[in-house]
Amino acid sequence: MIRFEQVSKAYLGGRQALQGVDFHLRPAEMAFLTGHSGAGKSTLLKLICGIERPSAGHIWFGGHDISRLKNREVPFLRRQIGMIFQDHHLLLDRTVYDNVAMPLVIAGASTEDIRRRVSAALDKVGLLDKAKNFPIQLSGGEQQRVGIARAVVNKPAVLLADEPTGNLDDALSEGILRLFEEFNRVGVTVLMATHDTGLIARRNYRILTLSQGRMVGGHSMANNAKTAKSKALRGGWREQWRYAWMNAIADMLRQPLATLLTVMVIAISLTLPSVCYIVWKNVSTAATQWYPTPQLTVYLDKSLDDDAAVKVLDAIKAEAGVEKVNYLSREEARGEFRNWSGFGGALDMLEENPLPAVAIVTPQMSFQSSDTLTTLRDRVAAVQGVDEVRMDDSWFARLAALTGLVGQVALMIGILMVVAVFLVIGNSVRLSIFSRRDTINVMKLIGATDGFILRPFLNGGAMLGFFGALLSLVLSGALVWKLESVVTNVAKVFGTTFTLHGLGWDEALLLLLISAMIGWIAAWLATVQHLRRFTPQ
């Protein structure tokens, strides 16, 4: 089942933990691993479950060379091993049931399979009535039995125990050892590291002895136990996703004040660009209501008579983009000039009318932008008989400059606030990771992949972004409601009507989606960065 071939392990600084270790642990065999403190027992167990990698040699597990495993394959190796620790490594914020169920959740078992297996494992170690208790409510011996139940619930091929009786009295130690013997009788390979020579002496099992990192003793005993067969787990991806969402929600509710403050900071950061966007949208709407339509003033050649002028007007009307044309003959132009200029006497003294005929061209709606209006002006100017064309777009230019300025300000503020939201969520997730290092450590030891560990943090980041955007919509909506009456009164002063508009449903949904995505990405970057440097101990 497990075979070491000339395995050595050297740490930085040159210290040799193991040197040329050779041994073979057969399927369904039970053996003790003993030796003085610092002999290399813990290092040997870490090599088997992939926490450490050998400096030389090969380690075979079930026919596979695990000394050459890729990092992404290590969690699947650990799912075949039940690891029992001296200090238990239980999750103190979860119940006994949840602690024992964790390997099954990680492996993707169905809810029904988890319930059945956890109940059977707890019943086996005599703790079925303590399923709803938390580890801190249990004695040391009971906590050790919870660790054993967690180790065997996934029906592993191998049980590794590191000083499981080190902190227990003789009676509890005997009880723990009898549990190991029961598991061994149904085909589970058991390797138990211990200093308890009295416990070893009372049993007739193979003893592997380490001294100064070398295997110096070991003998074999016949073992007729049948080989364990592990059934493949079916389904369960729903259980993994359910766990990820429930864990993310529980993490947020565990510190409600901190979560609320984070959501409020995100909401305020998003409200500012939202308000700028609302201002830009309403300025654009007001522009179409209040400002006059841009026009072209066309001056005809003074040498044209009325018939020729009519032909020129027909040519102008035929141009694409022309909505309508208002015509002033030379006489009509002189009459208007006389009325509003006050120089009628001077005009009468002139032998010839100095004013040309004028055509006022109103463009279609699709030709009222700056570029299309300029194009239309050039085409009208090219009509034969036209002397000059002027664009009456002063208001249009001012409007374009104003709305452009508001749009640029909104964009810049939006970018800055998005960065702020990104940093806030990233920092919140980073702090959450640090506060749960022990939990992550335990999960990795029992076979959790990086993806499984990532999901609750990603979901938490997305929820922070979503709820921050939701609160931002409430704040911006309240601001629009508060200012609506003020804007209406201002519009009345200018002799018009205007309604202040907030964000539409499509815009609100887009804000929620973008904010949730920002939270997800920020959480992903923060979590991946720390998981890459994280090694279980």
CATH number of the domain that residue 142 is part of: 3.40.50.300
Looking at the structure, tell me whether residues 35 and 183 fall in a common domain. Answer: yes
Final residue of a domain: which of 375, 392, 409? 392
Looking at the structure, tell me whether residues 407 and 514 fall in a common domain. Answer: yes
- Each residue's pLDDT, cut to its tens digit, for the chain (537 residues) gives 888 889 899 987 778 888 888 888 888 889 988 888 888 888 898 888 888 889 899 998 888 888 888 888 888 888 888 888 877 888 888 899 999 998 888 887 888 888 999 999 999 888 899 999 999 999 888 888 898 899 888 888 899 988 887 766 777 778 888 888 888 888 889 999 888 777 777 778 888 888 888 888 764 444 433 433 434 334 445 666 777 788 788 778 878 888 899 899 999 988 888 888 888 887 777 666 555 677 888 888 888 887 888 888 888 888 888 888 888 877 776 766 666 655 556 556 666 666 788 888 888 877 777 678 788 888 888 888 888 888 765 566 666 677 778 778 878 888 888 888 888 888 888 888 887 888 888 888 888 888 888 888 899 999 999 999 999 999 988 888 888 778 777 777 766 667 777 888 888 999 999 999 999 999 998 888 777 666 555
CATH number of the domain that residue 372 is part of: 3.30.70.3040
Cross-strand pairs, 326: 360
Looking at the structure, tell me whether residues 350 and 468 fall in a common domain. Answer: no
Looking at the structure, tell me whether residues 275 and 322 fall in a common domain. Answer: no
**Global pTM value:** 0.64
Measured in residues, the chain has a length of 537
How many angstroms separate the CA atoms of 251 and 262, rounded? 13
Looking at the structure, tell me whether residues 263 and 410 fall in a common domain. Answer: yes
Looking at the structure, tell me whether residues 187 and 327 fall in a common domain. Answer: no
Please give the torsion angle defined by the CA atoms of residues 259, 261, 266 and 271, in that order, rounded to the nearest 10 degrees.
140
Looking at the structure, tell me whether residues 105 and 172 fall in a common domain. Answer: yes
Looking at the structure, tell me whether residues 107 and 15 fall in a common domain. Answer: yes
H and E: helices and strands count for the chain: 17, 14
Q: Which of 148, 140, 146 is nearest to 188 (CA)?
A: 148
What total of structural domains would you count in the chain? 3
How many angstroms separate the CA atoms of 467 and 270, rounded? 11
Reading the block at residue 414, the tokens are 């939006």
Final residue of a domain: which of 392, 420, 454? 392
Domain-located, residue 313: yes
Are 181 and 30 a contacting pair, CB within 8 Å?
Answer: yes
DSSP assigned state of 168:
S
Domain-located, residue 50: yes
Count the Cβ atoms, other than its own, within 10 Å of residue 513: 13
The parent domain of residue 332 ranges over 295-392
Looking at the structure, tell me whether residues 248 and 344 fall in a common domain. Answer: no
How many angstroms separate the CA atoms of 95 and 119, rounded? 13
Looking at the structure, tell me whether residues 442 and 345 fall in a common domain. Answer: no
Domain-located, residue 537: no
Radius of gyration of the chain (CA): 41
Are 329 and 270 a contacting pair, CB within 8 Å?
Answer: no
